[in-house]
Amino acid sequence: MTDPRTGSAWILGDKFEKKYPHLESIDALWNLKWKYPCSRSLYPFHDGKYEDFEPIFETLIKKGIHDGYSVEYTKEFLPTCEDLVKQADKLKDDGKKQEAIEMYLRACAVYRIARFPYINSDVKKEAYEAQKKAYIQAASLFDCPIEDVAIPHTAGTKKDEGNEIPLYVRIPKDATESKQCPAVILMCGLDGHRPDNTVRSDEFLARGWASVIVDIPGTADCPADRRDPASPDRLWTSILDWMEQEGVFNMGKIMCWGLSAGGHNAIRAAHTHSKRLAGAVGQGAGTHHFFSRAWLEKAKDHEYPWTALPALTEKFGYKSEDEFMDNAQKDFSLIESKIVNQPSCRLLLINGTHDGLMPIEDSMLMTEYGSPKECRFFTGLLHMGYPPANFSVYPWMEQVMATAS
Active-site annotation holder among 211, 231, 238, 260: 260
What is the phi/psi pair of residue 157, to 5°? -115, -10
Active-site annotation holder among 66, 153, 273, 383: 383
103 near 88, Cβ under 8 Å?
yes
Sheet holding 147-152, edge to edge: 147-152, 164-170, 210-214, 181-187, 249-259, 279-283, 346-352, 374-378
- If you classify domain 146-405 with CATH, what class do you get? alpha beta
- Evaluate the omega torsion of the peptide bond into residue 44 and state whether it is cis, within 30 degrees of 0: yes
Residue 302 annotated among the catalytic residues of the structure: no
Closest-CA residue to 384 (of 392, 374, 396): 392
CA–CA gap between residue 176 and residue 73 (Å, rounded): 46
Query: How much is the pLDDT for 4?
Result: 54
Counting every residue, how long is the chain? 405
Residue 322 annotated among the catalytic residues of the structure: no
* Separation of CA 340 from chain center: 22
pTM of the model: 0.96
Per-domain boundaries in the chain: 14-141, 146-405
Query: How much is the pLDDT for 319?
Result: 97
Query: How much is the pLDDT for 31?
Result: 97
Sort 332 into a burial class: Cβ within 10 Å, 0-12 / 13-18 / 19+. buried
Residue 383 annotated among the catalytic residues of the structure: yes
* Separation in Å, CA 58 to CA 51, 54, 64, 69: 11, 6, 10, 18
Active-site annotation holder among 52, 225, 355, 362: 355
CA–CA gap between residue 374 and residue 385 (Å, rounded): 15
pLDDT by residue, tens only, the chain of 405 residues: 455 555 558 999 999 999 999 999 999 999 999 999 999 999 899 999 999 999 999 999 999 999 999 999 999 999 999 999 999 999 999 999 999 999 999 999 999 999 999 999 999 999 999 999 999 999 999 999 999 999 999 998 767 788 999 999 999 999 999 999 999 999 999 999 999 999 999 999 999 999 999 999 999 999 999 999 999 999 999 999 999 999 999 999 999 999 999 999 999 999 999 999 999 999 999 999 999 999 999 999 999 999 999 999 999 999 999 999 999 999 999 999 999 999 999 999 999 999 999 999 999 999 999 999 999 999 999 999 998 999 999 999 999 999 998
The contacts of residue 162 (CB under 8 Å, 6+ apart) are: 153, 156, 223
3-class SS of residue 88: helix
